Amino acid sequence: MVLRCELCRIEVPDEHVLADHTNGKRHQALLTARERFETSQQSSIYVSNIKREHDVNLLKDYFSRFGQIKNCFIDKEKHVYAIVEYESVDSANKCLEYSEEYKLHDGTRLKVKQRNHHEFKSKRMLISEQEFLNINKEKEIEQHGILIQLLNSKLTVDEQAEAIVHQEKITDDILKIREDFFKELEAMFIKYFPEAKLCLIGSMANGLATILSDMDFVLILNETYIEPQRILSSNNSGESMTIDENSCSNDADIQQHKFKRNASDGSSSRSLSPPLPPTSHSADDLLQMSIPDRLDYIRRLLRSYAAYVCNVQRIAQARCPVVRFCHKQQKIFCELSINNHLAVANTELVRYFLLFEPKLRSLLCTIRLWIKQKDLLGRGHRFNTYTLFWMIVCTLQLDNKQLPSVQSLAERANHKRQYGPWNCSIPDLNQIERNILDISIEQLLHNFFKFYSTFNASQHELSPWTGKFELKTSTTNLFSISDPFEHDHNLTSHISQTNWLKFQEECSLAIQILDESAKKRQNKSWGLSLILTRKSLPQKNFVHEPHYHQSQSMNTIEFVVNQIDEEEFQLHVESILKDILLFEQINYEMISKKRPASPSVELTPNTLAEQLDETLSAKRRRTDDDDGYISTPTTGISYSNEKIYFQVNYRTWQDRRKHKRSIENEHKDISTFEREKLISYKLKDDKDHHLEKPIYLSMDIKLLPLIDDSNKNKAQIRFEFQTNQQHQLFVDLTHFLTLYLPKMFTNQPAH
């Protein structure tokens, strides 16, 4: 027999489970919440016929004659009624039994009655930001399909880019709702801080917003500069916001978050945060508070007086502390920071560049949508719109100085602005002389993809301030681009190595697509519609290059080397793998001549390697008759008999440090290369480092030129593992090779 707990709204199988449940923490907490809820209703009165000029203090002063008031709040949306909650039920009854009129000093006659009683029900949490994004996912996919059809109907890539701008643009109706919401918040803050100014920043302020964009605000109380907090973090931010161009939004993500509320109804949650007196603190007093207290004051102010606001949170442990909240009806997720002058200056700078060069908007919207389809846009370790914007600006600054450096703009500014150590001056927006680039958007896209596909991120970083390459000062992050004003802040510190390498690979693929399919083709996808394909492409769209299926058993290692012949480089790498790590090379020529007659043939290292090759080849190649789709193709990759195959029998990548010191003491004058060989032989002699089953892998190599240094190449070494091997061994081995190969290559003796 199924039993039900009506309070918690769950079903249980029998009485014993129900008894355990009713003694549990959740049930007991809801019992307490229900009791508090019912007491709150019994001790509250409903007051109507109030006017706009009536505030909480006026009502509390009048009704306090009947007893001590615990809480009082006025309807925020329409300001037509109020709820007054007394400390005791007797006080509420005394007020209701009052025989005379409830008349205020201005002559207003109030109507008072007992507050309506509602049944207590436990409620689920309000919708979270991630749930909201998931709800819109299907609609977004449908709109993307419509966009692809529209792009195929255009005549040029430039026309396709303009269509993307129009598609991504937020609708006028939604824009009007957001503008009205901003005005309501602005009026509320000015009421309590007359000298303050509420600024809209990010994508909503510079016209780059989409329907899923957040709204970011800065409350400017005075000219005091608040230095960003130095938060020690590994940047392992969890979930995510669609980050806008707020210079601090990304760092606030170091706290995982969800928008939550109590399991009780709204009235009881309000009772936890009493309304604030309208003149509790001046702007100076607010800035003297600690960060948590300052944010808590703003949080309580929003809860008490801001219409349509819910799910208000303070995020104090972040580089830029913020208050997060949500628009109750439209599900607009918002952030508000205090005296964040750098974010305001950054928004104005972005707007300046968009007005200075109109093609920037089309370029950014196209690249943003492209990178979104590759699952590289968003929170966590991905790119965001603000970072992408400055990546685009840097390419144009470096390409024959098509855009000015931020430093040159600061020098030309008539009005100088200095916040802390940072010069945030820019010329007046009303005096911009537009710079129309005499180059197509198609070529600008090609230049962007080419630049970043070969960018040497290990040695250089980008600076919008100088508009030049800078020598890298830190090896902590793979890719670095400094904030245009706050020069010691890396905008890409959160981006993982995996996502950076994937981004570079996707840039290479985009160049190939633009080279092969930039002209309109009847009844076929072309141009940007191919670049924006979500995950896969029809094989018939590509005829020049073989296709490559990217699986979980693949790992690519990249590092920079001096200019070297590819064959010589391959010999060096082979020597490290075979002579030091004791990998056993398998001859492909022998494999191709001795194919197994049937699956029952005894498996040898050679036949296993051949099966590996056949499996990978089958995944890569399909005929034009196939209706299936394959992963986006990779250019310039060697296949089959050009690969090198290895069998790994020993865990020579583990516990090397244990033997390093003893080897160094015994052989003080040997080279690094010889020392590492001796360490491997010691590990080979240890039976604990013998693999129960060998690992089989293939390796291929390619060298790419660096656009910023003609004397160096970017080496890419790709390993593929047989997919039926143990996954953890792959992870350990590939992690080791990623660190070990670049280091050993620099110590490799000449052949």
Class of domain 357-518 (CATH, top level): mainly alpha
Tokens at 650, concatenated = 């020993």
Report which of 240, 236, 276, 242 is spatially closest to residue 254, judged by C-alpha positions: 236
CA quadruple 170, 172, 177, 178: dihedral, nearest 10: 40
Q: What is the pLDDT of residue 621?
A: 40
Residue 636: CB partners within 8 Å, gap ≥ 6?
508, 545, 702
How far, in Å, CA of 10 to CA of 193, rounded?
Answer: 47
Q: What is the mean pLDDT of each run of 10 residues along the chain (751 residues)?
A: 74 74 82 88 92 87 92 79 92 90 89 87 52 58 78 88 88 89 90 90 88 89 85 40 39 36 35 46 82 89 83 87 87 90 93 90 92 85 91 89 89 89 86 74 91 87 89 77 90 87 88 78 76 51 34 62 79 85 73 41 43 42 34 34 78 83 84 87 88 82 73 79 55 68 62 44
Q: Buried b vs exposed e over 324-358: b needs ≥16 C-beta within 10 Å?
A: bbbbbeebbbbbbbbbbbbbbbbbbbbbbbbbbbe
Q: Which residues contact 110 (CB under 8 A, 6 or more apart)?
A: 47, 48, 49, 50, 102, 103, 104
CATH of region 545-589+641-750: 3.30.310
Instruction: Say which residue the tokens 């972005």 belong to.
Output: 350
Strands 215-220 and 333-338: parallel
pTM of this structure? 0.58
| Torsion angles phi and psi, residue 619, rounded to 5 | -75, -30
Is-contact 167 211, C-beta < 8 A?
no
- Expressed in percent and rounded to 5, the helix, strand and coil fractions of the chain are 45, 15, 40
Dihedrals φ, ψ of 299, to 5°? -60, -45
For position 17, what pLDDT does the model report? 74
How is 59-122 classified by DSSP, letter by letter? HHHHHGGGS-EEEEEE-TTT--EEEEEESSHHHHHHHHT--S-EE-TTS-EEEEEEPPP-----
Q: Which two tokens stand for residue 182?
A: 């901003």
Rounded Cα gap, residues 659 and 676, in angstroms: 10
For the residues of 266-302, what is the DSSP string, one character each?
A: HHHHHHTSPPPPTTS--HHHHHHS-HHHHHHHHHHHH
What backbone torsions phi and psi does residue 718 show, to the nearest 5 degrees? -110, 130
Query: Positive or negative, the Cα torsion across 516, 522, 527, 528?
Result: negative
CATH 3.30.70.330 fits 3-114, yes or no: yes
Matching residue, tokens 């309501």: 184
Report in angstroms the alpha-carbon separations of 323 from 154, 189, 243, 255, 282.
44, 14, 15, 13, 19
Q: What residue spans define the domains of the chain?
A: 3-114, 357-518, 545-589+641-750
In terms of Cα–Cα distance, which of 197, 219, 185, 192 is closest to 277?
192
Residues 512 and 638: beta-carbon distance below 8 Å: no
Q: Which two tokens stand for residue 638?
A: 């060697």
Write out the DSSP string of 317-383: SSSS-EEEEEETTT--EEEEEES-HHHHHHHHHHHHHHHH-THHHHHHHHHHHHHHHTT-BSSTTSB
Give the helix/strand (H/E) hosting 425: none
579/674 Cα distance (integer angstroms): 9
Structural contact between residues 313 and 259, judged by C-beta atoms closer than 8 angstroms: yes
Nearest to 256 by CA among 130, 166, 95, 171: 130
Distances (CA, A) of 486 to 416, 483, 594, 679: 16, 5, 63, 47
Q: How far is CA 492 from CA 212, 482, 496, in A?
A: 22, 8, 9
Question: CB of 46 within 8 A of CB of 113?
Answer: yes
Q: Distance between CA atoms of 459 and 449, rounded to whole angstroms?
A: 19
Identity of the amino acid at 132: F
The reported pLDDT for the residue numbered 363 is 93
What is the pLDDT at residue 607?
A: 44
Enter the tokens of residue 156.
Answer: 């040029």
